[in-house]
Structure formats: structure tokens, C-alpha cells
């Protein structure tokens, strides 16, 4: 699984010139081979990321900023709810008519001089991209940030084939230079602060000015200078797409920096990798998503640049256009009557910005390039990893079900319902297998918990745990208690139980059973049986 | 079985299981399609200017032909070299050439090589349609707007936007663009910007760092 960067915060560098500037920026994320399945469960991932206080500070600041901006821009729109309704209906239509829309789309791209390829999975998609690049006799390409290529781990694949793919989106470039993984689908370097970015540039960019400060303006300026030469000389570019239009064969990219336009316009050859769900039926439908996407994603009225192109335009832009239509699990998502809603996602990231779980654990905890609430429903469906031995089966449980994600979703994906549905599917898969330690423990505890005297005796025993707790928490315990404590801290038992407290504070002799509180307690106990 | 056949077969099979008789309904387009104010009307233009300035674009309002030419000259400022699309009105080309600026023409037939484009300070183009609600300007690559590369590589873009082509809403602009949907289209909302470092907006990364807009007539 591991290829690079088994380096941890605070670890001394291998050589002095490797770490002259900050030393603090180094990643502790391994670049995985399967980008949807990094190999750890959510609890394991969260345990690691929660310890990174710098990351949590960066993330807290960034998600608060973007949430507030988004709300401001959404409040400006009197018809926001109507737009969401329309978007949901369009995406339902796409899922319902996917085969015919794909064929219509392909026919229109081809009619305008584009070349369409189909890829069943990530490996096939990567191979097609590499073959096109090799046919041009080059080993250096530029790339627009794209979730589809993240999903196929294209850069790693190309590197193995001797081809360097330069990420040109500022955040994606920061992630690439640091041998890191993205932690957000819109702002992949959201877990980094400015001084970390400065350190990464000075250590890894090669041509960063020695007196580079940590001002975002200066850092962006250094990236501009670094990338301009690459843009002007690149002959092949790779992109994803935000939306394909079946009726016209038009493909689009919504971006901010202009790196997208550079890649889409200047090279001779453009290769676009598109998930088959990224369609809309009609040109007119663009008016819905062009309003929902920027306000949801970055809290802007409109992103600075949007490009739309159809096949090839003689004399303007790339004269060879390859479009790869990729399945990679999407048709598996489509088989689930409830879960298939996840295919409506337009990758705006607003669900992760509002999610309290994401805000604390960060994107790396999810063990997939799709983090946050949408990742929790998309990843296990794309991989069909709902069995106990698959690390991604924990993702539908990585939620407090507060529902905020569904409220902000511009295409009205009912994420909480899908989370519960997938939890049920996961449990169904498990039922066919052996019971786990939780089931065994709960069954063993039942006689004690159903008998008042036995329970009282047991709770006396619990007080012994105060001996091993520090700071009010009990950390890792040996097996089998580790099944619980490896993912959660166990609070130390209180000094006295409710019954004991009652006895002490009510010396007049009113027993809990006769008071309102006691009555409520016994009712609850009854219901628990 | 080739990949296309396989994927389409999987999709059909999936839908047969998940659709469960749910019909595809007409898209409810109850959202605001047409604004209350007419395209190019005073409130729409005022809104456009406000949004553009919010993106830190420079705006000149030009009620007369002479004012358009002065506006182009003013917004080009100290640029020494200018690229123009071959189909730009002759008077605009002349305005671009004021103060001794060198002006080069570009077209699909005779494109300026990218590396030479990189040496040019500014570009002047027309535009197809504007959207006041979001301060967006759309170009569709016709001869008065030129190849996509010329509005991208120089550091300053001066664009002439016809007043009556400023639409209040996105749907009204999409209606205009939808008349020729397969043209290469670029929507511009302010200059190049990034928010990738700590969500701080930084103007100017790869595209033109300066956007000037002449609102004509």
C-alpha cells in the first residue's frame, strides 16, 4: 500500500537540504494505491487526525469562513429552493435515462470532432489516458484539478509509466509537492496554513524565491511564475469536467484561477475524464447548475472562469479532443433505489464544510478521496464495501445524523436517509457472518442489566476503573476492551451513581422510586428491556 | 463485449432494479427565469456595475461612441502592447493604438503563437452577453471576441459590453448563448482569483489579473 512519505511531524529529516525551512509541513498520510480505500477504518483514521491540532485549527478556520460566505450568497437568492427543486429533478431524470443520454452525448461529441472512449473501471481509464499521451511521444503533461482523476489515481499510474502530470490548481499543486493527499474536494489543501505552504514551496518547488513570505498573495505569485512556463510549453492537458450536456455534446469546467483555461485552451491535445453521471439532458439545464454550484462551493456569486466547449473548434483551442466516459462503480450505485441519489452530487463540498464530524476529523480520516458526508455515502457504494472486513464499511457510521448536510446540499441529496439505509445494508451483510464482540458482550450483559440488584453490584465494580483513568479518560485497554477503546476514549466512572447521590442528598428518606425522577428512570428501564 | 456495451448494459440493468416505477416528471422551473427589469435598463446596469466592482474590475460607462473609445484607452492605461481579434470594430482598434501602443491582430486563420502572446500586455475584445445578477460576462469566440487564448494570456483584459446585452438573470443569458451552444464559450466573473490558501481571496493567479469593462451606450 505504502509508496512514499512515511514521515511524521517532528521527525528529523533525512538530509539537511531536504528540510531547511519549516520542517513542520511534512505529511503523515500515505499515498494509497486505491484512492477510494486507503486501508484504514474511519475510527482509526479519526484517531490519527484528531491528534493533529494544527490541522484542526486550520480546518476550523477554513470551514467557518466558507460556511459564512456560502450563507451570505445563498441568502441573496430569492429562488434558491426552486433552483434546488429543479436540480434534483434534472438529476433524477439523468439517473432514470442514463443509457440513452450517454449515447446522445457521445453522438454529439463525435459529430463535433471529439473522440469518445469508454472505461469500465479506473484501470481502463488510466490506460486510455497513458496510451494517448504516449502516442504523442511526450512524458510531461499539465492537469486541471479533477475528482475523476483523483479517483483513478491517475498521477501515480502515469508516474509508473514514466509520465509526469503537473497539477496546476494551486491547492492541488501544494498537495502534490508535499506528497500529500487531498482532504477536501473543492479546496484540497484546506488542512494547510500559509506557513506550511511557504515551507512546501521553498523545499519542493525548485524555483521559489528565497525571500518568499507567507502572504497568500506572494505564495500565489510564486505559483504563477512556476506554472506559466509549463502552460506555455505543454502539448497535452488532462481535465475532468463539471457537467456534460447530452443535447449538444458540450463539456464544461467551472474554476477560479485560470489554470483550467490555460490547460483547456493552449495545448494541442485535451483529454477529459468524465464520470458517466455528470450529465445534464439539455443546454438550458446549465442555467440551474451555474447558479447553484459557485454559491455552494466557494460562496461566490459566480466563479471567475467557466469554460464550455463542444468537440473541436478549428483554429481555436486544442485540435484533438478525447473524452473518456468512466463507470468505475457508478452503475453499482445506480442499482440501489435509495442510495443512487448520491450520483446527483455536483462536488461542491458544502456538505463537508458544514459537517461537525468533518470539521473535527478532517478529510484524511475518511480514507477516500471523497471525504465528508457525501464521501460517507458515495465511497462504500462505489466500492460496494459494506462487509465487516472492508475498511470503508465504517463510513456510514461516521456521522451524527444532524442533517445539516442535507439542508445545504444544492441538489437536495438526502444524505442522512442514505446513511441510515447503508448502515442497514451493512448490518444485513454482517448478519450472514459470525456475531462480533459487541453482540457477544451485549448478550452477556443482558442478565445483569435486567436485574436491579445485580446491576447495583456491577456498578460498584465499575468504580474500580477510576484507578486506571487519567484526566477523566481511560485510554487504550487490552483486548477485548480494546474493541471499544481503540476508537473511543472511555470516560472514567463518576464518584457516585445517581442512586448513591440521591441517598446522600435526600436524607429525609424519599426513595427515588416514589419521586418523579425515579418513576422516569424505571420507565426507561422497562423500555430498555 | 466492449466497454461501451458493457457499461450501457450495466446501466440498463441497474435502472430496471432501482427505478421502481417512479416516473420522470417535467423539470419544475419555478425559479426566476426573467428579471423584473428589462435587459440594459438603468437598474440592471447599476447592478452589473456594482457586482463587477465587487470583483475589483474597473468599469467605464460610455453612453456615446466617443466615450467607448476613450474608455478603451483609459482602461488600457500604461499597457505598451495590445492584441485584438481581427473582427474587432476598426474604431476600437484605433483607440487601442492611442498613446503609441503597438497593436497586433489575431485570428483563427492567423493565430499569434502562444509564446509571443505571453509578451503582450493587454487585449481588447467585445462580448456576447452579460449577467447583472452575478456580474458575469460571456464570450463565445466570434470574430469580434477572438480565440480563447488571447483573452487568457495577456495580463489585462479590456472588454466592451453592449448595454442592451446585459441580462438580469442567468437563464436569460443562457437563452442567448443557447442559440449557438456549440461555440467555445468563456464566462468571466472578475479577474483570475484563488482562495486556496486559508480561504483568503487572492486576485490574479494565471489568467488576466486586471479586468476592465466598457459598458457601451
The ipTM (two decimal places) reads 0.96
Grouping H, G, I as helix, E, B as strand and the rest as coil, residue A207 is coil
Contact between A235 and A268 under an 8 Å Cβ cutoff? The reply is yes
Q: Which is it for strands B102-106 and B156-162: parallel, antiparallel or unpaired?
A: unpaired
Contact between A215 and A194 under an 8 Å Cβ cutoff? The reply is yes
Name every chain B residue with its beta carbon within 8 A of the beta carbon of A189. 196-197
Asked if the C-beta of B187 comes within 8 angstroms of chain A's C-beta atoms, the answer is yes
Q: Which of B3, B51, B175 sits opposite A124 (nearest CB)?
A: B3
Nearest to A316 by CA among B112, B138, B160: B112
Write the pLDDT tens digit of every residue in B28-41.
999 999 999 999 99
Asked if the C-beta of A438 comes within 8 angstroms of chain B's C-beta atoms, the answer is no
**pLDDT above 60 for A518:** no
Cβ <8 Å between B109 and A315? yes
- pLDDT of A1 reads 38
Write the pLDDT tens digit of every residue in B181-211.
999 999 999 888 888 888 888 887 888 989 9
- pLDDT of A463 reads 67
Longest alpha-carbon distance in chain B: 71
Q: Which of B28, B33, B200 sits opposite A89 (nearest CB)?
A: B28
Residues 53 to 112 of A: which have CB under 8 A from any B CB?
A: 58, 61-62, 65-66, 69, 78-79, 82-83, 85-86, 89-90, 92-93, 95-99, 102-103, 106, 112
Write the pLDDT tens digit of every residue in B88-134.
999 999 999 999 999 999 999 999 999 999 999 999 999 999 999 99
Contacts of B187 by beta carbon, 8 Å cutoff, 6+ apart = A290, A302, A305, A306, A307, A308, B136, B137, B138
Cβ <8 Å between B29 and A93? no
Contact between B134 and A295 under an 8 Å Cβ cutoff? The reply is no
Cβ <8 Å between A118 and B2? yes
- pLDDT of A446 reads 75
User: What residue in B sits closest to A336 (Cα-Cα)?
Assistant: B18
Write the pLDDT tens digit of every residue in A310-321.
999 999 999 999
A77 confidence band (pLDDT: 50, 70, 90): very high
Beta bridge partners of B58: B212
**pLDDT above 90 for A131:** yes
User: What residue in B sits closest to A61 (Cα-Cα)?
Assistant: B198
**pLDDT above 50 for A526:** no
Write the pLDDT tens digit of every residue in A387-431.
988 999 999 999 999 999 999 999 999 999 999 999 999 988 876
Q: Which residue has the higher pLDDT, A158 or A507?
A: A158
Asked if the C-beta of A203 comes within 8 angstroms of chain B's C-beta atoms, the answer is no
Exposed/middle/buried for residue B22 (C-beta within 10 Å: 0-12, 13-18, 19+): exposed
- pLDDT of A487 reads 66
Mean pLDDT, rounded, of chain A: 87
- pLDDT of A226 reads 92
Cβ <8 Å between A102 and B189? no
Write the pLDDT tens digit of every residue in A425-471.
998 887 665 566 666 777 777 777 777 777 777 777 666 666 666 66
In which element (H, E) is residue A68 found?
helix A53-75
3-state helix, strand, coil in chain A (%, to 5): 50, 10, 35
CB pairs under 8 A between A and B: 266
User: What residue in B sits closest to A315 (Cα-Cα)?
Assistant: B108
Mutate to test the interface with B, among A128, A304, A418 (most CBs of B within 10 A): A304
Residues 284 to 303 of A: which have CB under 8 A from any B CB?
A: 284-288, 290-291, 294, 298, 300-303
Name every chain A residue with its beta carbon within 8 A of the beta carbon of B33. 287
Contact between A352 and A191 under an 8 Å Cβ cutoff? The reply is no
Q: Locate B27 and state its grid cell.
A: 423539470
**pLDDT above 80 for B27:** yes
Q: How far is CA A490 from the centre of its chain?
A: 28
Rounded Cα distance between A146 and A116, Å, is: 18
Geometric angle at alpha carbon A461, from A460 and A464, rounded to 5°? 110
Contact between A121 and A146 under an 8 Å Cβ cutoff? The reply is no
Grouping H, G, I as helix, E, B as strand and the rest as coil, residue A241 is coil
- pLDDT of A5 reads 43
How many Å lie between the alpha carbon of A186 and the closest alpha carbon of chain B? 9
Cβ <8 Å between B27 and A120? no
* C-beta atoms surrounding A324 within 10 Å: 24
**pLDDT above 60 for A500:** yes
Amino acid at each position: 500500500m505504502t509508496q512514499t512519505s512515511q514521515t511524521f511531524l517532528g521527525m528529523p529529516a533525512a538530509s539537511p537540504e531536504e528540510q531547511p525551512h519549516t520542517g513542520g509541513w511534512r505529511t503523515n498520510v500515505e499515498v494509497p494505491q486505491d484512492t477510494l480505500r486507503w486501508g484504514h477504518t474511519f475510527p482509526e483514521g479519526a484517531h490519527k487526525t484528531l491528534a493533529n491540532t494544527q490541522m484542526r485549527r486550520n480546518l476550523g478556520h477554513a470551514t467557518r469562513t466558507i460556511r459564512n460566505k456560502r450563507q451570505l450568497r445563498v441568502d441573496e437568492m430569492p429562488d434558491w429552493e426552486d433552483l434546488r427543486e429543479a436540480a434534483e429533478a434534472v438529476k433524477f431524470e439523468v439517473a432514470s435515462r442514463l443509457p440513452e443520454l450517454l449515447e446522445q452525448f457521445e453522438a454529439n461529441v463525435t459529430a463535433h470532432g471529439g473522440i469518445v472512449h469508454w472505461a469500465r473501471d479506473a484501470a481502463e481509464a488510466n490506460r486510455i489516458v497513458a496510451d494517448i499521451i504516449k502516442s504523442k511521444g511526450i512524458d510531461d503533461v499539465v492537469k486541471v484539478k479533477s475528482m475523476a482523476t483523483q479517483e483513478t489515481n491517475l498521477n501515480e499510474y502515469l508516474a509508473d509509466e514514466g509520465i509526469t502530470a503537473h497539477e496546476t490548481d494551486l491547492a492541488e499543486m501544494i498537495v502534490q509537492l508535499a506528497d500529500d493527499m487531498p482532504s477536501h474536494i473543492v479546496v484540497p489543501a484546506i488542512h494547510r496554513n500559509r506557513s506550511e505552504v511557504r515551507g512546501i514551496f521553498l523545499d519542493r518547488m525548485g524555483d521559489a524565491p528565497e525571500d518568499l513570505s507567507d502572504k497568500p498573495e506572494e505564495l500565489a505569485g510564486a505559483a504563477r511564475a512556476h506554472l506559466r512556463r509549463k502552460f506555455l510549453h505543454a502539448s497535452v492537458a488532462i481535465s475532468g469536467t463539471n457537467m456534460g450536456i447530452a443535447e449538444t455534446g458540450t463539456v464544461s469546467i467551472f474554476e477560479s484561477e485560470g489554470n483550467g483555461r490555460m490547460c483547456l485552451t493552449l495545448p494541442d491535445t485535451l483529454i477529459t475524464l468524465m464520470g458517466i453521471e455528470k450529465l445534464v439532458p439539455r443546454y438550458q439545464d446549465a442555467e440551474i447548475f451555474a447558479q447553484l454550484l459557485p454559491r455552494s462551493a466557494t460562496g461566490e456569486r459566480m466563479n471567475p472562469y467557466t469554460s464550455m466547449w463542444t468537440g473541436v473548434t478549428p483554429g481555436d483551442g486544442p485540435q484533438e479532443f478525447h473524452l473518456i466516459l468512466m463507470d468505475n462503480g457508478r452503475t453499482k450505485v445506480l442499482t440501489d433505489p435509495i442510495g443512487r441519489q448520491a450520483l446527483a452530487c455536483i462536488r461542491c463540498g458544502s456538505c463537508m464544510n458544514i459537517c461537525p464530524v468533518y470539521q473535527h476529523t478532517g478529510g484524511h480520516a475518511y480514507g477516500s478521496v471523497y471525504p465528508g458526508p457525501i464521501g460517507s455515502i458515495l465511497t462504500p457504494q462505489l466500492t460496494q464495501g459494506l462487509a465487516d472486513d472492508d475498511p470503508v464499511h465504517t463510513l456510514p457510521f461516521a456521522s451524527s445524523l444532524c442533517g445539516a448536510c442535507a439542508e445545504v446540499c444544492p441538489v437536495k441529496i438526502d444524505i442522512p436517509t442514505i446513511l441510515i439505509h447503508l448502515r442497514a445494508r451493512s448490518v444485513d451483510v454482517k448478519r450472514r457472518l459470525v456475531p462480533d464482540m459487541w453482540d457477544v458482550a451485549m448478550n452477556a450483559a443482558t442478565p445483569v442489566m435486567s436485574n436491579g440488584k445485580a446491576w447495583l453490584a456491577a456498578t460498584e465494580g465499575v468504580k474500580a476503573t477510576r484507578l486506571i483513568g487519567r484526566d477523566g479518560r481511560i485510554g487504550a485497554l487490552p483486548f477485548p476492551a480494546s474493541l471499544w477503546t481503540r476508537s473511543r476514549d472511555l470516560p472514567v466512572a463518576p464518584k457516585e451513581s445517581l442512586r448513591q447521590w440521591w441517598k446522600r442528598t435526600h436524607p429525609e428518606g424519599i426513595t427515588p422510586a416514589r419521586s418523579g425522577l425515579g418513576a422516569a428512570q424505571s420507565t426507561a428501564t422497562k423500555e430498555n428491556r | 463485449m466492449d466497454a461501451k456495451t458493457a457499461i450501457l448494459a450495466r446501466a440498463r440493468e441497474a435502472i430496471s432494479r432501482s427505478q421502481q416505477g417512479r416516473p420522470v416528471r417535467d423539470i419544475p422551473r419555478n425559479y426566476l427565469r426573467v428579471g423584473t427589469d428589462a435587459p440594459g435598463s438603468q437598474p440592471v446596469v447599476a447592478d452589473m456595475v456594482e457586482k463587477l466592482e465587487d470583483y475589483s474590475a474597473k468599469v467605464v460607462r460610455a453612453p456615446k461612441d466617443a466615450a467607448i473609445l476613450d474608455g478603451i484607452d483609459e482602461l488600457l492605461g500604461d499597457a505598451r502592447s495590445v492584441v485584438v481579434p481581427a473582427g474587432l470594430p476598426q474604431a476600437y482598434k484605433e483607440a487601442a493604438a492611442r498613446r503609441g501602443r503597438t497593436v497586433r491582430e489575431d485570428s483563427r486563420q492567423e493565430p499569434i503563437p502562444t509564446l509571443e502572446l505571453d509578451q503582450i500586455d493587454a487585449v481588447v475584445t467585445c462580448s456576447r452577453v452579460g449577467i447583472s445578477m452575478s456580474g458575469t460576462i460571456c464570450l463565445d469566440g466570434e470574430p469580434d471576441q477572438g480565440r480563447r487564448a488571447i483573452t487568457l494570456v495577456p495580463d489585462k483584459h479590456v472588454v466592451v459590453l453592449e448595454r442592451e446585452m446585459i441580462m438580469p438573470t442567468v437563464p436569460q443569458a443562457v437563452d442567448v448563448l443557447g442559440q449557438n451552444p456549440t461555440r467555445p464559450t468563456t464566462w468571466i466573473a472578475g479577474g483570475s482569483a484563488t482562495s486556496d490558501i486559508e480561504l483568503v481571496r487572492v486576485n490574479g493567479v494565471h489568467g488576466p489579473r486586471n479586468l476592465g469593462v466598457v459598458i457601451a451606450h
